[in-house]
Structures are given as C-alpha cells and as structure tokens.
Amino acid sequence: MRSLQYLGKNIPGYTLRATSLAVILALSACGGDDNDDSDADNGGEQPAYVIPAAPAGLGRVDTAPVPDVSAFVDFANTNQRGDPRYATLESNAGVRVLSGFLDIWEPRTRLVDAGVNVAGADGFPGIIASDWTGVPGDATDGRVKNKAVHDENIAFVVRTTANRTAEQATAAYLDDRRGKNYSVTDGLGPLTAAWRSAAQQTTTINDVAPDATTVKYDDAGNNTGVSGAANPAFGDAIAFVQSMGANASTEPGKRFYKYARPWRWSSSVQVLPTLEPAKSLTAATDGGYPSGHTAESVRNAIGMAYLVPERFQELLGRGVELGESRIIAGMHSPLDVMSGRILGQASAAGNIYAASEGVRSVAYAQARQTLMAAVGASTPEQFLAFAHSQDVSQDRFADHAVNKSEYRRRLTFSFTQIGDTGKPAVVPKGAEVMLETRLPYLTNEQRRVVLKSTALPSGYPVLDDAEGFGRLNLFDAADGYGAFNGDVEVTMNATLGGFNALDVWRNNINGAGKLTKSGTGTLGLAGANAYTGGTVVAAGILRADSAKALGDGAVYVSGGTLDLNAVEAVQVLGTYTQTSSGTLLARIGDDDAGQITVNTDAALGGQLNVEFRSGYAPQVGSTITVLRAAKVHGQFAGITVKGFKATAIYNGDSVQVRLDAVS
C-alpha cells in the first residue's frame, strides 16, 4: 500500500491501480460549481474526496459441511423390506431419514416387520410378523406421543375432505389412479405435449370412471414412457427418470412405523366415493406413513427437473401438489405426505448422485436436444422463452409468486413448530446434485450453501432429520442464495448458453457477505435484498431487476456492466463507485424506471449507456435524470443514448442527460 497525492493532499492507505487512477483523473478534470468539493470552513480549499476501495465484505466464504451421520446417498441400498439386515431404524436408511415421526408416534414394534415373517440371514436373526392389525385404538396399536400434533394431523384431513371442490375431487381421483409420472408431466406446461410424445408416454385415465363405485379403475398406460434402445431419440432421458425409483420404496417405512391411514383414524374423513374400491382390505399391510404416491411424484419431478431445468420450479410444484391431492382424496394425512416428500427428495438425490457424470450428461443432452427440436427452438434462449410462453389460463404454474407460496405451504401444511426453532440448517451429502443443471455456474460447495441458506426453519413436526432432507426448500434454492453469510463470487460463462448466460435470483437475500459478479454472463437480482457486505461488478452484467436488488452496502463497478432494469429507481444505501472500466446501463422509463439513487457519494468514471423501455417515448429537448446522490464526484468518460445525440449535465447531486437531437 502507498499513499496517492490528489489535489495537493496525500490519501493514505490507497492502492494505486489503473482503474482507480482513471477515476481520480476524471474527478480532477471536473470544473465548475456543480461538482466542486468546496469547504467554506477550510478557506475555500477543496478537500480531497477519497475514492472508496472495493467493498471488503467478510473476507471469507460460507460452507455447508456434510453432517457427521450415515448418509442416505451412501446407504440407499439398505432401504429394503424383507431383509433382516435392514430391519431396524439404525440399519435402514429409508426408515432412518423419516425418524422425526418417533416424536409423534411410537409404533407397535421398531422393526420392518408388519404382516410378514422374515427368515434370518448372514447372522441376523429372523423376524416374526407383527401382530399389529392396522386398526387404531385396538390392543395391538402403537402409541400417540404428541397428541396435539396427531390430532391436528387427522383434523386437517377431516377439514380438507369436507371442503373439497368438485374440481379438486376430479384432480385427486386422477392423481390416485393415473400413472404418477404421467401426472407430473403437467408441470412442464408448454413442453408437456412434446415430452409425452418423445417419451411415447400413455395413460388410459383422463377422466373419472363412469362406474367407479363398483369398478376399481387402474391405469393401463406406461406411466413414464419407453426407455432405452426402443426409444433412441429419448430413451436415455426416460431411463434416467425411471432410475429415480431405485432403492426408493416406501414399504419399509410403512412396515416400520405402522401408522394407519386417516380414514381408519376417523369416520369423519370423507374418502372420495370414486376411490372407495381402491381402499385396502388388509389394514396391517396398508400403513399411511409415508405416502407412496407423494414419494414417487416428488422423486420423478426432481429427475425431470434435472433434465429440463427451464421448468425446475414448476415440476417441483406439481410434485408436491400431487402429494396434497392424497389428503384431498382422504387417503393420506399431512404427515404422511411430508414424509413422502422427504423420502422422495432423498431417493432422487441418491440416484442422481449414484449415476455417473456420463449418464447424467447424456440424459440431459438428449432431453434438451429432442425437446428443443420438437418446439422449434434453435437456441437455449428461445427454448427458455417457449417453456414460459403460456399464461395461467393454459399453464397453471405460470405465476411464480403463487407457485412459491403454494410450494412453501405444502412443505409444512401450517403445522405449529414443536421443536427448537433456531437450529442451524444442515445439507445432506450429495443433495447439491439436484441443482447441478439449474445452477450450473456455481460450484458444488456453492450449491450446498444455497440449499443451506434457503432451508426451512427448524422445529416443524417430522422435518428435523439429522441429514437435513426435511428442511430442504428446493423451490427457493432454484432462485439462488437466501443469504450471503460469506462472500460470494459468481462466475458465469455466456458461451455455454442457458443459465450460464442468463439467470435471475428472486430470493430476498440478507446476510453480511459481499457479492462479486464475474465472468461473461448476466445475473439478475430481483429480490428485496438486504445483504450488507457490498456489491462488486467485476465482469459481465449484473442486472438490477428491483429497487432493492443491490442490498444495503456499497456498490463498486470495476468492470462489466451494472444494468438498471427495475421499474423504479434502484437504491444504493452505501457509496457508488464506477471506475474507468465499468459501465452503467440505464433503461429509462416511467416512474423513475432505470434511474439509480445513491444515499451517499457517487464517484463516476467509465461509460454511461442510456436506453428506453418499451412504451416510453422521450422527446428531443427533454432532460432525463439518470443518477441522484448526496454528492456526485467526477464524470463519465463517455455517454451513449440509444437513438439520440445527447449531452450530460453534471449537478452536485445528480446526473442528467439532455436529448439534443435524433441520431
């Protein structure tokens, strides 16, 4: 470090760099009263304005260490029924990940044993079939340990089934009887038809059976479609989705926890009349916890979202929607469905994690190429646009805010938190692979931190498993970080296309860390952000899509472009500094759109580009405000206004552009 002399004074502790020097020179060249740093108490002598260095942030990155417990992804193969080696809580990964239920319910026996005798093997003793009848309240039943949660669990189903609409009833019937993966493809929206055609996917159930009170209406379709060599254009993609079902059975959990379905607990639960023929007559082998339909729909939705990340959140939303339909049908309780989501997520993570990089990349590339060709998209940008080309009248998942709210509601079903509400979130081993195609420009460790920073609060029934699967909020994770609890550098390579070229983070980001945008791609920030460590634009484009996009710290544009894309003025609560290598792009419109408001000092250099939003019609001779600040220092080195010849006007507290003529 060495001091720099500016206006006859030494500025100590300032690192002399080319970009910083350019700003100093720009400032020293400014004349006139409009941006004169005069000081009446100093005999009229101008005090030096010290150009701020880039924000320091926290000086460290956040991490999400793997919990020191047996990982599901390493022991998924133990999720088996009928094997004495995997008959206990400790030995069965599928049972263990759902063990939060033991705070609510004590099963008849803590063994995967209901309704079946198991012979001993490999030194493990045989298991005698449980005498659990599956009928709540009889002598063989388990024991309720948290009556308030259990009662609310059943009461929720009573309320829901009493108030369901005809539309909900039809949807719940279809989700029950139709192939689960066929139903999940609804989440693809405009891509649904293309997927089903490429998959050769079929169903025989598209409406309610005409005589469903006497005929059990089973789907004779093929659920996921045709995989492998029989479908050369799409078979690898379908095989990948089908692989989500490996070691994913809910039967071990059902046979271990021995918890009855809600209609067995209460006669006030109204099972859909169309599903009466589907009710099991063998209660001891028909446990409700966890929900098998939910587990399958969630794991398949994640598998498809991996292949089509352009519809990541919509597919996830469809997966948990199908889970809620099990409650609407009267077939499952909220805790059944919540546990199904946990096991579905664990199964998807385990199977994607277990697949080789080659298998994953081949399936992803095949899905992308086939679907793009089917919808006539020649670029990733066109494909993304097509994937979101329908409004809510055609695509019920088209409203992001509604999807976010409904997804969050379905994670907890509004249960009261019963445990410690302040436990730090942990992230399961391998869970980051589920975000591999949705956030491809992040590292694996960054994806883990994203999952940690967007996790649910602790304390909800059944969700505080030791690995962290219960608290994952994959919907929010797809919208980027929830907090910068360390400094974050995002490097995007636009030449790779897709989300590498352009992505938007919609979460409200807090924390004390700093964001640095590097690489050639574009990152949009659309949340009401409150992170305090500052923002550095080092390369590429950082797009401010909301007034609070840039958080509560300083902003430093040392390279690349800060794009003011909000429909109102973008706020900077700290200092704003733009060096000679930086660019500010102001997209001017009505209601201060495209402007930037700096609460303190703004030091200017580099380039200013002005464009106009659709519908905004500027006139020759008009003057447009681009920047407001407590004090403006220096000038932009160059200004370009699209469609006009213009002159910059530098005031002490603002920068304006006068439109002189049409170019």
Domains of the chain in start order, with CATH, are 72-186+243-354+398-448 (1.20.144), 481-662 (no CATH)
Q: Which 3 state secondary structure label does DSSP give 240?
A: helix
pTM (2 decimals)? 0.93
Residue type, 611: E
The rounded mean pLDDT for the chain is 93
SS3 readout for 453-468: HCCCCCCCCCCCCCCC
Encode pLDDT of 295-314 as tens digits: 999 999 999 999 999 999 99
CB 291 within 8 A of CB 175: no
Within a 13 Å sphere around the CA of 174, how many CA atoms are in the beta-carbon half?
18
Q: Which residues pair with 647 in a beta bridge?
A: 658
pLDDT score for 12 = 34
For 87-205, list the strands marked E by DSSP: 105-106, 143-144
Nearest to 284 by CA among 306, 254, 309: 254
**Mean pLDDT, residues 353-361 taken together:** 98
As a whole number, mean pLDDT of residues 403-419 equals: 98
Amino acid 214: pLDDT: 76
Residue 208 has pLDDT above 90, yes or no: no
Nearest by Cα to 655 from 589, 580, 579, 603: 603
Query: 57: alpha, beta or left, given left = phi > 0 and alpha = psi -120 to 50?
Result: left
Is the pLDDT assigned to residue 654 strictly greater than 90? yes
Instruction: Provide the pLDDT for residue 216.
Output: 82
**CA atoms within 13 A of residue 556's CA, in its CB half-sphere:** 21
Question: Using an 8 Å Cβ cutoff, are 299 and 347 in contact?
Answer: yes
35-86: per-residue pLDDT in tens? 444 333 445 566 788 899 999 999 999 999 999 999 999 999 999 999 999 9
